[in-house]
Amino acid sequence: MAVRKEKNTVDTADKQQRILQAARTEFAEKGFDGARVDRIAERAQANKQLIYYYFTNKDVLFTRVLEDAYRDIRKHEAALSLDACPANEAILKLVEFTWHYYLQNPEFIRLLNSENQLKARHLKASMSTVEINQSWLSITQDLLARGSREGTVRGNIDAMQLNINISALGFFYLINQSTLGILYQTDLSQKAALDERLRVMKECIAAWIKP
Partner DNA sequence: GATGAATGAGCCTTCATTCAT
Partner DNA sequence: AATGAATGAAGGCTCATTCAT
Q: Is 176 in the site for DNA (CB under 7 A)?
A: no
| Part in contact with DNA (CB under 7 A); list of ranges 51-59, 113-121, 140-148, 202-210 | 51-59
Segment 33-62, which members bind its own copies (CB under 8 A)? 33-34
Q: How far apart are CA 92 and CA 205, in angstroms?
A: 7
| Part in contact with its own copies (CB under 8 A); list of ranges 3-11, 83-91, 98-106, 125-133 | 125-133
Q: Is 53 in the site for DNA (CB under 7 A)?
A: yes
Segment 85-114, which members bind its own copies (CB under 8 A)? 110, 112-114
* ∠ Cα 12 41 176 (to 5°): 115
CB of 100 to DNA, least distance (A): 32
* 3-class secondary structure, 185: coil
3-state secondary structure labels for all residues of 91-134: HHHHHHHHHHHHHHCHHHHHHHHHHHHCCCHHHHHCCCHHHHCH
Residue of the chain from 10, 78, 85, 200 that contacts its own copies (CB under 8 A): 200
Nearer to its own copies, 81 or 156 (CB): 156
Q: Which residues contact 41 (CB under 8 A, 6 or more apart)?
A: 19, 22, 47, 48, 50, 51
The secondary structure element, H or E, covering residue 8 is helix 2-34
Is 202 in contact with 95 (CB distance < 8 Å)?
yes
- Single-letter amino acid code for the residue at 114: S
- Provide the binding-site residues for its own copies, judged by CB under 8 A: 30-31, 33-34, 110, 112-120, 123-124, 129-130, 133, 136-137, 158, 160-161, 164-165, 167-169, 171-173, 175-185, 196-197, 200, 203-204, 207-208, 210
- Provide the binding-site residues for DNA, judged by CB under 7 A: 4-5, 8, 11-12, 15, 35-38, 46-50, 52-54, 57-59
